[in-house]
Amino acid sequence: MPLTASWRYWRDVMLTAAAPAIWGSTYIVTSEYLPPDRPFTAALIRTLPAGLLLLLLTRRLPARRDGWRLMALGALNIGIFQALLFIAAYRLPGGLAAVLGAIQPLLIMVLAWAVDGRTPSRVTLWASLAGVLGMAVLLLSPQTVYEPVGIAAALFGAACMAAGVWLTHRWRLDLPVLALTGWQLLIGGLMLVPVAWLADGPLPALTLSQLSAYAYLSLAGALIAYALWFRGVARLPTVAVASLGLLSPLTAVVLGWVLLSQSLTGSALAGLVVVLASVLAVQWTAARRG
């Protein structure tokens, strides 16, 4: 790969990696600043206002032929995924949910092999398996509770996100990145409205810190993060993008250690190194393959 192309690739990797890093920071924001026991409301406020703002800025309508595809992507990447994510979060320890979510790169490899006929390289396959193993070492403990409904929600959520990333890359809709992001956030947010209303009920009076936290979730956690994420989906191989998603729980662990004085044992540190190495291996292999 020429030097200029290599530089562009790694620049795209760094920009895309910023998205899961931002998502990792939302764990602390949610636990420390948001009203308790309102997961679907948090998902709704994170997605719907950001989608409306992006569409007001871009003022771009999708082509009529792409309408059903956009509905499918909004459901897979945002609406269904967010709902299942919070179901898993409430029924499972965060570590187990993150480990199950780490199978996304493997699911994308299966889709690319079964539908597109693209066989993954051995390095990418083994690096993705190592990422799941490293996540398990980092986050699982003997006290982990295995709840069937939560496990099913986490696995189906990972499958939805994997399918959404793969289809976004495969379909390549005729929309700028910001408009594509805005429409998906709007569609997914609208899907979450009845869920949030029925499950969480109306919001109580909010403090200034809670309003600021919701604003952060919407502007940084959705508008900026998803724009960077879908930009990466359009420019990078799908497996490479999915692999970067492992940085989200890693960021949460590091921030919890730095800001909340949470413990980080030797085995957990080893798992963290393994996950980082697996992410870099996938990116390096994708860069070599052009």
Specify whether the CB–CB gap between 282 and 243 falls below 8 A. yes
Euclidean distance between CA atoms 279 and 240, whole angstroms: 8
Encode the chain (290 residues) as per-residue pLDDT tens digits.
555 778 889 999 999 999 999 988 887 888 788 888 888 998 999 999 999 999 999 999 999 889 999 999 999 999 999 888 888 877 776 667 777 888 888 899 899 888 888 888 888 889 999 988 988 887 777 666 778 888 898 899 899 999 999 999 899 898 999 999 999 999 999 999 999 999 888 888 899 999 999 999 999 999 999 999 999 999 999 889 999 999 988 888 888 888 877 777 778 888 889 999 999 999 999 888 76
Around 153, how many Cα atoms within 13 Å sit in the side-chain half-sphere?
21
Helix (H), strand (E), coil (C) string for the chain: CCHHHHHHHHHHHHHHHHHHHHHHHHHHHHHHHCCCCCHHHHHHHHHHHHHHHHHHHHCCCCCHHHHHHHHHHHHHHHHHHHHHHHHHHHHCCHHHHHHHHCCHHHHHHHHHHHCCCCCCCHHHHHHHHHHHHHHHHHHCCCCCCCCHHHHHHHHHHHHHHHHHHHHHHHHCCCCCHHHHHHHHHHHHHHHHHHHHHHHHCCCCCCCHHHHHHHHHHHHHHHHHHHHHHHHHHHHCCHHHHHHHCCHHHHHHHHHHHHHCCCCCCHHHHHHHHHHHHHHHHHHHHHHHCC
Specify whether the CB–CB gap between 59 and 284 falls below 8 A. no
99 closest CA partner among 59, 35, 157 = 157
- pTM score, whole prediction: 0.89
